[in-house]
Homo-oligomer: A and B are copies of this chain.
Amino acid sequence: MGHSDLTVLLLALAALLVAARVCGELARRLGQAEVLGEILAGVLLGPTILGRFAPAVQGAIFPAAGTPPAVTLAGIEQLAVGLFLFVAGMEVSLAAVRREGGRALAVSVGGMLVPFALGLGVALWVPHAVGATDGGSTGFALFFAVAMSISALPVIARTLIDLGIYRSGIGAVVIPSAIIMDLVGWLAFAVVLSAVDRHGGMPTSVAQTVMLTLGFCAVMLTVGRWLIDRALPWVQAYLSWPGGVLGFAFALALGSAAFTEWIGLHAIFGAFVAGVALGDSPHLRPRTRVVLEDFVRSFFAPLFFAGIGLKADLIGNFAPVVVGTVLAVACAGKLIGCGLGAWLSGLGPRAAAAVAMALNARGAMEIVLASMRFGLIGQTTFVALVVTALVTSLVAGPAIQRLLALKQVRGLANWLPPRAFVRRLQSDDREGAVRELVAAAGPAGVEIETAVQAVLAREVSAATGIGGGLAIPHARLAGLHTPVLALGVSEAGIAFDAADGRAARIIVLLLTPGEAEDEHLGLMAQVARELADPAVQRQVVQARSHTELIALLRAGTVAE
């Protein structure tokens, strides 16, 4: 790998990571799953946008196909998706899967049969509407039917993680269903390929692949799991820490991935199952989990997801009718099949719809690309499949959020705009401090003086110094539309009649609308909880700017 090759590789990696991060953050701001932003980052940097409007820039950053950096990038993406699924597997709760196993089976059977039948019917009946170039061979129809019924475990897992429901009841139905559908889908794909492609490439026959797959899963989740659980204390006791246990995890992930790839399945399955087996052990330490999850999620995962969007020119080969038909068939099949399965197995209509929406997300681009190699589908079907993958993934996050009425948790940091932070309170008495904080909070639609008096009246009826150097003066105000908060620090401390007799150094003012009693209490509790830790309090007192304050409040809400 020469000078310019390495430069291009590093540039491409840096560009993908930066774009994925920026778009991911924007998606999060808009209440979407980060993974969507990452996929769209790839579309922006790829032939669709950057390649169309600034091909010279695109060519300088991203390597031409077949060159060493392009080959390396493709290899790193494969490694990335394997490691991502290994880490996702580590978070699977086997107990939850066991509990929801029957339901997952119902969902996945429905979610495979309906799309397969629908896809096969459409591809045989109106092949041109889904982009067939040769009048529609049986091979094309079979491939199309499989493509309709396959899922996208990586995208689905990421979407649920981003929404914070990966380990919830919904997650316990969706993830096993996606695993089953993808497993069967890949196996079916292997069958189709071996039927079409007589020249080999597969080292094993289809029957062997199926047997080996089932055997691998069974062994890994029983004997393998037991062995890993026994091996972990030994590894942590006698090998260097933390290098030993991390090396053990990597060997397990890569070895299993190599095995499932070799038997004709995809590498991601081995990695995922290995992750499940490892993550189930109570001997795995928190630090090991954190290191693996943080690094893989912030380095490898964005590279893979942005890589999806990078591969296709979505505009050049866009055929509206084909795209519309494929999208309609794909959504109809999955939503009806999965939704029906979930509903028949006893889920409520909203939960069933959420399960169907989650499983409707696609993105298994490798299958699409692989099929190109075998000449099964043309460019228009290819683009239609990519658009379907993007649109279904795009829709999944917001739809689930709406169906389950998920609320974003707003930390204290979200309630404190820059003006609401008073770094040093001037007053050294209660009334003065309250007045300063009300002015800083600036409650819209309420007179400052009205608010001050309401807060002070409250102080008379019950002191708001909650002890430990923290006070939360508060009031509910008619006419206020939304809660407002302000945080002030007193160098000398101000007496707020706390039970422990300590003066308050951190004073948080809380004003809420008159009717919102629940919200009022919730915010009180949240302030008390987020500022409970003496270490956090110390840092708040020392914060030199609003940015530093926000940074440490946000860090306080996660395990450091």
- List chain A positions with a Cβ less than 8 A from chain B: 1-4, 6-7, 9-11, 13-14, 17-18, 20-21, 24-25, 28, 34, 68-69, 71-76, 78-79, 82, 201-203, 233-234, 236-244, 246-248, 250-251, 254-255, 257-258, 261-262, 264, 267, 283, 285-287, 290-292, 294-295, 297-299, 302, 373, 413, 545, 547-548, 550-551, 554-555, 558, 560
Contact = CB atoms under 8 A, between A and B. Distances in A.
A551 B245 CA distance: 11
Given A13-B79, A286-B560, A295-B295, 10 more contacts: A2-B201, A3-B201, A9-B75, A11-B258, A25-B240, A68-B74, A234-B551, A236-B551, A246-B295, A287-B560
B1 A261 contact: no
A533 B378 CA distance: 66
B78 A75 contact: no
A189 B7 CA distance: 18
A6 B261 contact: yes
10 contacts: A14-B258, A17-B247, A25-B240, A68-B74, A71-B72, A233-B545, A236-B555, A247-B302, A287-B560, A291-B291
A101 to B, nearest CB: 29
Given A72-B76, A560-B287, A10 B555 contact: no
- Chain A interface, DSSP helix/strand/loop, else mixed: helix
Contacts of A17: 247, 250-251, 254
Q: How many copies are assembled? A: 2
A439 B491 CA distance: 61
A258 B10 contact: yes
A310 B239 CA distance: 24
Contacts of A202: 3
Nearest to A265: B3
Contact of A14 (B203, B254, B297, B298): B254
Contacts of A203: 3-4
B10 A257 contact: yes
Nearest to A261: B7
B294 A246 contact: yes
A239 B10 contact: no
A175 to B, nearest CB: 21
A1 B78 contact: yes
B10 A254 contact: yes
Nearest to A72: B75
Nearest to A20: B247
Contacts of A292: 295
Contacts of A251: 14, 17-18, 21
B28 A246 contact: no
Contacts of A285: 555, 560
Contacts of A238: 547, 550
Nearest to A202: B3
A234 B21 contact: no
A22 to B, nearest CB: 9
B21 A243 contact: yes
A198 to B, nearest CB: 16
Nearest to A288: B294
Contact of A244 (B21, B74, B248, B547): B21
A321 B151 CA distance: 63
Given A3-B261, A267-B10, A560-B286, A237 B291 contact: no
A21 B295 contact: no
A547 B75 contact: no
Nearest to A369: B1
A298 B241 CA distance: 10
A86 to B, nearest CB: 12
A1 B4 CA distance: 22
Given A71-B71, A76-B72, A239-B21, A234 B547 contact: yes
A456 to B, nearest CB: 33
Top 6 closest pairs, chain A to chain B, by CB: A72-B75, A14-B254, A10-B258, A246-B298, A237-B550, A237-B551
A512 to B, nearest CB: 25
Nearest to A250: B17
Contacts of A34: 240, 243
Contact of A558 (B241, B302, B560): B241
Contacts of A558: 241-242
